[in-house]
Amino acid sequence: MTEKQNPLYPFERIYTSIEDKEELMAAPVIEREEILASRQDKLNKLKLIKDLETMIEEQRVQRMAAEKARIHTLAGRQEKRKKASTNGKEATKPPSLQDLNNARVWRGMFEWRLYAPGLKEALTGSFFKMRWPAKDKDRAPTYSIQQILDVERDDKRIYDVSIDGSKKWCGLFAKIRYKDRAHSVPFTAFSRHKFTEDEFRNWLRGSEEVVQVMPQKGEVQTKAVELDEYFGTKLDETSSAQMRIFRDDVAKVAREMF
């Protein structure tokens, strides 16, 4: 604290003036020390008040910046929703490769939100790159574009969904339809890579060959916006607590199984 910041004792930060210093120096030691201690206590309290005022002002500025960013984000999302819900022939066309990639999910995207409220609704209707293991070990796996029709829970088939083997236990499965048959797929089958042109052409061809409703461009774009909103919003304390409860339950079942 400088002398300008110390209106109580501007001289050497503890005296009111040179005369005040000389007077105190001439006083008995105990009396002088008590007076100086009292003054230091006042200075400490003054500094604490100023520090609190500074902290409050910094927090106010941060809140204003956060609110401004939130408003900007909401405006951007509303604009995306407006574009995604545009009426007319464009919205009813088949989705493009870019549309599907925008509405794509992968394991690393959501493994940290397993069992969070709203996860099932967010994933349902989205797309993922399915990894099909080769029957021959010498051959590379194949990939296909799949849409999640639903998310189901089955604690009798718990598996580790983590990429690094850290035992993030999961009993959730994606329901898909492939070659006109229903399948239940663990999240470990989700590839992190984007869809390719070849996979997109195969997806279009496969949708035409089987009895399957082709998702419309507008629907896929809307799902992309929903994913952006869901995964771009921080969970509140209640949702985080609910997620931890479910995770603990699944971990308990896993310990009994493995």
> Token pair 């060959």 is at which residue?
209
Using the predicted structure, report yes or no on whether residue 3 has a pLDDT greater than 50.
no
- pLDDT the model gives residue 227: 95
Q: How confident is the model at residue 85 (pLDDT cuts 50, 70, 90)?
A: low
Residues 46 and 137 in one domain: no
Other C-beta atoms within 10 Å of 136: how many?
A: 7
Q: How confident is the model at residue 2 (pLDDT cuts 50, 70, 90)?
A: very low
Q: CA-to-CA distance for 220 and 226, rounded, in angstroms?
A: 10
Percent of the chain whose predicted confidence (pLDDT) is above 90? 53
Give pLDDT tens digits for 153-176.
Answer: 999 999 999 888 888 999 999 999
Q: Are strands 159-160 and 169-170 parallel, antiparallel or unpaired?
A: antiparallel
Domain count, the chain: 2
Residues 62 and 168 in one domain: no
Residues 122 and 240 in one domain: yes
Residues 80 and 110 in one domain: no
Last residue in a domain, options 84, 104, 123: 84
Last residue in a domain, options 54, 84, 114: 84
Other C-beta atoms within 10 Å of 179: how many?
A: 10
Residues 75 and 132 in one domain: no
Residues 138 and 19 in one domain: no
Query: What CATH number does the domain containing 113 carry?
Result: 3.90.70.200
**Domain housing 21:** 1-84
Residue type at 257 in one-letter notation: M
Using the predicted structure, report yes or no on whether residue 116 has a pLDDT greater than 90.
yes
Per DSSP, the three-state class of 91 is helix
Residues 50 and 117 in one domain: no
Residue type at 199 in one-letter notation: E
Give pLDDT tens digits for 118-148.
Answer: 999 999 999 999 999 888 877 888 999 999 9
Q: What is the pTM of this model?
A: 0.66
Task: Classify residue 183 as exposed, middle or buried by CB count within 10 Å of its CB (0-12, 13-18, 19+).
Answer: middle
Q: CA-to-CA distance for 66 and 74, rounded, in angstroms?
A: 12
Tell me the CB-side half-sphere exposure of residue 232, using CA atoms within 13 A: 12
Using the predicted structure, report yes or no on whether residue 242 has a pLDDT greater than 70.
yes
Q: What is the DSSP letter of 215?
A: P
Using the predicted structure, report yes or no on whether residue 104 has a pLDDT greater than 70.
yes
Residues in the chain: 258
Give pLDDT tens digits for 30-80.
Answer: 999 999 999 899 899 988 998 888 888 888 888 777 777 767 766 666 666
Using the predicted structure, report yes or no on whether residue 83 has a pLDDT greater than 70.
no
Give pLDDT tens digits for 172-214.
Answer: 999 999 877 899 999 999 999 999 999 999 999 887 665 566 8
Q: Among 77-81, 93-97, 116-120, where is mean pLDDT lowest?
A: 77-81
DSSP character string of 162-192: -SSS---EE-EEEEEEETTEEEEEEGGGEES
Q: From 146, 153, 134, 224, select the one nearest 179 (Cα to Cα).
A: 146
